[in-house]
Structure 1
Amino acid sequence: MALLSVRDLRVEFATSGGVVTAVDGASFEVGAGETVALLGESGSGKSVTAQAVMGIVPKPAGRVCGGSITYDDRDLLAPGVAKGLRGREIAMVFQDPLSSLNPVFRVGAQIGEMFRRHRGASRREARAAALDLMKRVGIPAASKRLDDYPHQFSGGMRQRVMIAMALALSPRLLIADEPTTALDVTVQAQIMDLLARLQAEEGMSLVLITHDLGVVAGVADRVILMYAGRVVETGPLREVYEHSGHPYTSGLMASIPELEGPRERLVPIQGSPPDLLALPSGCSFRPRCRYADEQCAEVEPVLRQLPDRPSTHQAACHHPEGVLTDVH
């Protein structure tokens, strides 16, 4: 049974140019103890989907206008439900830790506040709990850094602080939105290893949101590719990486540098993500796709099982046979 279930989710934003559908019918599940990667270019709807799950879609411009989100059989779209579960059951690590941390409060006090507000801990108890969490997430000399301010930490250490705050109340589901953006490659690997270790220790479910397929390669159990607010491919990580059946996925794969073997020029995806105010008819990826034909211009593809692949591997493409043959 799924811990988190998203069905036909639609999220709209009112803009000066018109109404933008940022998430357009997205559906997926996250099982208990599972790590799922939500992938796609900027503007694909990944972060907005996470905001909808957390109940923090910016208002009044944004609103969930369709679909359902359930967590452990509870309706997260019902008034007050998401707010009541936020932090205790579902936690989120945001992309920019510096803007998420309060610059005028010491780090130890900010972590400890979670225990004081939600668990009724005393100042001493909260400080001890904060110290324990800082040690768990690998902050060196944690006892000496409790009273430092956010600006005194490096980007990677600030992200560890954010992870510590997210874990404070032992959530069952952790959403990490671009947790390694703006970090160098070595620190990226450290943060991903940390998240994988904590996920295993806590037995929690983990949703990783990123545009970088390489970052989650050794961490995720399953991947979900989004494009123009829609899910275009989903399946077990290795299956999708080795037998991608959507031209968007194969294009993203071709842009990942290989660490072994001869050096080859990376192949970018031609064109740019579509204007959500003026989506093309049929398949949204059509203007960038070399397989596109009249059917792609007239009929929006739906998720379906890829030919000769496991039933859990699905793609929304009219010509997956061509992608599988051409790429693999």
Structure 2
Amino acid sequence: MQTQSVQKNNVHKKSRSSLSVYLGQWNAPVVGYVFIAPWLIGFLVLQLWPIIQSFYLSFTEYSLLDAPHWIGSANYENIAKDRLFFNSLKVTFTYVLASVPLKLAAALFIAILLNRSIRGISVYRTLIYLPSLIGGSMAVAVLWRNIFGTDGFINNLVVLFGFTPHNWIGMPETALSTLIILSAWQFGSSMIIFLAGLKQIPSELYEASSVDGAGPVRKFISVTLPMLSPVILFNLIMGIINSFQMFTQAFIVTEGKPYNSTEVYALFLYKKAFGSLEMGYASALAWILLIIIGIMTLLNFIASKYWVFYESESGASK
């Protein structure tokens, strides 16, 4: 019996060693691709293939009901003549230039206030972050439309102080401003990132600046902003990308009205795709948006070398 058990153990060891040798013959990259295969298949099927398809469709006339018909660069030529296209660009750039700085300023201000060791600070951080958890949802957009509606909370507040109520959403002068305020209100994600960046700033820098006689404003300008500049760059780029793709708020709150004053680029693209069934035209619009976002991101990276401070680079220069 003992001999049989020994033989079984030897067979088991040999099988394990042969398996190890077999696996060892595989190249490391091949094994890696096997493990990432689920994600890789999802990326190829659900992301890369639709991207390739949209690029092809941007050179076709396609209405979902018929097969795509190749028309070359006609979609891009028609876009260059489309007055509503340029209007959507104007509205979108106005929205981005106003909402992104306002949102970053609000996020940084609140992050500085929350960067304190006081009792219950974690509760305050959670409560302030809560609106961002549902910030992009349709429910919040509907709520915002009711708040700024003719009989909404804002007008009730205006009447309470003796002023005349205003049609905030129905007037071209103020409709886009309501969407900008909504974007600034959703500062929670940027605030958390700013807060994490503030935690990484060495306290010795503030102590040294205090010895030099620096006040709160000087500390903020000379210590906080330079040390936080990489985080500011990250939030700036992400804010610009998200703002150029803003859709839900404009679709629910204003529907692009009045007089197309809030018809941002993504909403204009949606109307062409699912309103007019001009899928080829919409695909061309999507690629133009991709190029615009890419250019804006590249410009930010180029400009960052003049104002972003990296501690590692400072150490290397020494």
Q: TM bucket by the smaller chain? A: under 0.3
Tell me which protein shows more strand as a share of its residues.
1
Q: Which has the higher contact order (CA 8 A, sep 6+)?
A: 2
Tell me which protein shows more helix as a share of its residues.
2
TM-score norm. by structure 2 comes to: 0.23
TM-score norm. by structure 1 comes to: 0.22
